[in-house]
Amino acid sequence: MSEFKIGPLNHVGVAVPDLEEACETYRTLYGATDITTPFDMPEQGVKVCFVNLPNSQIELIEPLNEDSPIHNFIQKNPKGGQHHVCFEVDDVHQAVEEMGKRGATVLGKPRIGAHGTLIIFVHPKNSNGVLIELMETPEGHH
């Protein structure tokens, strides 16, 4: 087996039916003060913002339309819920290769994620029921 391994936890993705309402929950219930301005990612079918925390981030994700991959998640979980866990890696293409060698199913091709770096997702069946996102470490991070 190669030396490939995951790096730091970058964020936890939480799918929500209403992004503004979710932001308000993090502000009023949990006292979060550093929440990014929501932005659309039409190529992924989502609207996103980040709750910045001292040691990580919560990525809040709302579907933009019925074609969004998050739409089905919200249909099954109308109040929303934990969607994925994201770890940083040095090289997404190496991660794709290693996941294949190690018998994991990578969902789709590498693509640009909300942090502006390449990402992939590993099927939950390979990770004890948890959808795992692997993203290249953003520049200037860590």
- Model pLDDT for residues 38-52, shown as the tens digit of each residue: 999 999 999 999 999
Q: What is the pTM of this model?
A: 0.93
Confidence of residue 141 (pLDDT cuts 50, 70, 90): low
How far is the C-alpha of 59 from the C-alpha of 81, rounded, in Å?
11
The domain that holds 66 is classified in CATH as 3.10.180.10
Annotated catalytic residues are 133
Dump the DSSP string for the chain: --S-----EEEEEEE-S-HHHHHHHHHHTT----BPPPEEETTTTEEEEEEE-SS-EEEEEEESSTTSHHHHHHHHSTT-EEEEEEEEES-HHHHHHHHHHTTPPEEEEEEE-TTSSEEEEE-GGGTTT--EEEEEPPTT--
- Model pLDDT for residues 55-114, shown as the tens digit of each residue: 999 999 999 999 999 999 999 999 999 999 999 999 999 999 999 999 999 999 999 999
On whether residue 3 sits in a domain, the answer given is no
On whether residue 47 sits in a domain, the answer given is yes
On whether residue 141 sits in a domain, the answer given is no
Q: Residue 56's domain spans which residues? A: 9-136
Q: Is the pLDDT of residue 142 over 90?
A: no
Mean pLDDT across the chain, nearest whole number? 95
On whether residue 88 sits in a domain, the answer given is yes
Number of domains observed in the structure of the chain: 1
